[in-house]
């Protein structure tokens, strides 16, 4: 396999290499060092993106959750998440990982290269999307193979490398570490956090739709919906989700099916949504937003939310009424 690449840094503008060049880097499974090149990644042809960060650490939903790629040749791109189209509509919307061998710096003075549809389809035909019925093949399913568990020293070393690479600044690093330290101390003193007492945990159906505005309920109200592990019907309310309590956010989309990390199995969900701007901080693992490269969407049970008006709409309506009345109080 040809893995020729150039080192990319946050802020670099890049484009995909030609389908032929990418094909030469892939093994029989359509992967490079166990990281699959997915059909959804072909959607980027003909476009340019900015490098978001070097992918030095990654979280994982399971044991050994603090992980890292074995080779320092992976980056993420601003706003690029998997559409799930080739994987039966998976709604996990993972941040896509890119081997540097698949990308090249774009010449800003020239137009983007023309898209060769025939070669793109030839590359697509090589890409694997499933292992067996109901078991899918993607970057989430292969994450354990593409990464290794990081020790505490390994995490800190990569944290420093992330600072040097420009993934974050000193203040962001300090804030992330302070959050981790406070949560670590709390766990040592009081046990797992957060956790409730409910068994079985309650459910509520709001049928929220994309674009609707919601307010995250108070932390005390949410605790009442959790079991002793901090879960509501198997879905965890993580420690860093507390920072959203009391805030108004817009619904990004419903979550009804997603491929599970490490297994490739499709999981079905009910009464669950994603909210715009709400991503996992990983602070409870000592990674923090400044460290973890996955920036996973946070999943919200509808029972943790309540519908509300768009922020500022009530104030705008009051100002309009006030203006129409000439500034006089209403009778």
pLDDT, one tens digit per residue, over 226-267 is: 998 899 999 989 888 888 999 999 999 999 999 999 899 999
* Residue 331 pLDDT: 39
pLDDT at 94 over 70: yes
Q: Are 299 and 270 in contact (CB under 8 A)?
A: no
pLDDT (average), residues 71-78 = 95
CB within 8 Å of 307: residues ≥ 6 apart: 206, 208, 212, 213, 214, 215
pLDDT tens track for 32-74: 999 999 999 999 998 999 999 999 888 876 544 678 899 999 9
Task: For strands 147-149 and 297-301, give the pairing.
Answer: unpaired
Contact 214, 252 (CB under 8 A): no
Question: Could you tell me how far CA 228 lies from the centroid of its own chain?
Answer: 26
**Rounded-to-integer distance, Cα 294 and Cα 280, Å:** 9
Q: pTM for the complete prediction? A: 0.86
295 within 8 A of 96, measured Cβ to Cβ: no
Which pLDDT belongs to residue 320? 59
Is 136 within 8 Å of 130 (Cβ atoms)? yes
CA distance readout (Å), 75 to 71, 144, 219, 238, 279: 11, 17, 35, 26, 18
If you average pLDDT over residues 291-298, what whole number do you get?
A: 82
Q: What's the confidence (pLDDT) of residue 79?
A: 92
Q: What is the C-alpha separation between 206 and 202, in angstroms, rounded? A: 13
Q: For every residue of 164-229, which 3-state class applies, written as one string?
A: HHCCCCHHHHHHHHHHHHHHHHHHHHHCCCCCCCCCCCCCCCCCCCCCCEEEECCHHHHHCCCCCC
Please state, as a whole number, how many other Cβ atoms lie within 10 Å of the Cβ of residue 169.
11
Please return the burial class of 93, using the count of CB atoms within 10 Å of its CB with bins 0-12, 13-18 and 19+.
Answer: middle
Q: Which DSSP string corresponds to 251-267?
A: EEEE--EEEPTTT-BEE
Average of per-residue pLDDT across 268-289 = 77
Q: Element (H or E) spanning 155, and its range?
A: helix 152-165
For the stretch 132-147, pLDDT in tens is 888 999 999 999 999 9
Q: Which residues contact 218 (CB under 8 A, 6 or more apart)?
A: 245, 246
39 touches 124 (CB < 8 A): yes
pLDDT digits (tens, 9 = 90+) for 175-212: 777 877 887 787 788 777 788 887 789 999 999 999 99
Per the model's pLDDT, the better-predicted residue between 82 and 65 turns out to be: 82
Domain locations along the chain = 213-313
Q: Tell me, what's the pLDDT at 291?
A: 61
Dist CA 86 CA 42 (whole Å): 11
Token pair in block for residue 118: 């025939």
pLDDT (0 to 100) of residue 318: 52
């Amino acid at each position: 396999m040809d893995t020729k690449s150039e080192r990319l840094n946050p802020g670099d503008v890049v484009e995909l290499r030609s389908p032929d060049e990418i094909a030469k880097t892939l093994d029989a499974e359509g992967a490079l060092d166990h990281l699959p090149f997915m059909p959804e990644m072909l959607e980027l042809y003909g476009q340019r993106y900015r490098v978001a960060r070097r992918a030095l650490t990654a979280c994982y939903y399971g044991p050994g959750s603090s992980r890292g790629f074995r080779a320092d040749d992976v980056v993420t791109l601003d706003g690029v998440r998997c559409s799930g189209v080739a994987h039966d509509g998976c709604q996990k919307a993972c941040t896509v990982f890119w081997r540097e061998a698949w990308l090249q710096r774009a010449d800003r003075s020239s137009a983007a290269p023309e898209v060769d549809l025939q070669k793109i389809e030839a590359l697509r035909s090589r890409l694997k999307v499933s292992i067996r019925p109901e078991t899918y093949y993607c970057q989430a399913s292969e994450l354990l193979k593409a990464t290794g568990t990081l020790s505490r020293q390994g995490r800190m070393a990569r944290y420093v490398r992330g600072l040097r690479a420009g993934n974050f600044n000193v203040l962001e690093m300090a804030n992330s570490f302070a959050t981790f330290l406070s949560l670590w101390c709390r766990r040592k003193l009081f046990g797992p956090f957060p956790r409730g007492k409910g068994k079985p945990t309650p459910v509520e159906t709001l049928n929220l739709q994309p674009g609707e505005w919601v307010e995250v309920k108070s932390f005390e109200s949410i605790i009442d919906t959790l079991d002793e592990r901090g879960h509501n019907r198997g879905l965890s309310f993580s420690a860093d989700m507390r920072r959203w309590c009391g805030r108004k956010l817009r619904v990004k989309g419903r979550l009804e099916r997603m491929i599970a990390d490490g297994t490739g199995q499709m999981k079905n969900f009910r009464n669950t949504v994603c909210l715009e701007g709400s991503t996992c901080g990983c602070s409870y693992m000592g990674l923090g937003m400044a460290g973890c490269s996955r920036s996973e969407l946070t999943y919200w049970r509808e029972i943790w939310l309540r519908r509300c008006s768009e922020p500022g709409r009530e104030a705008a309506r009051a100002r309009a009424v006030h203006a129409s009345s000439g500034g006089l109080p209403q009778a």
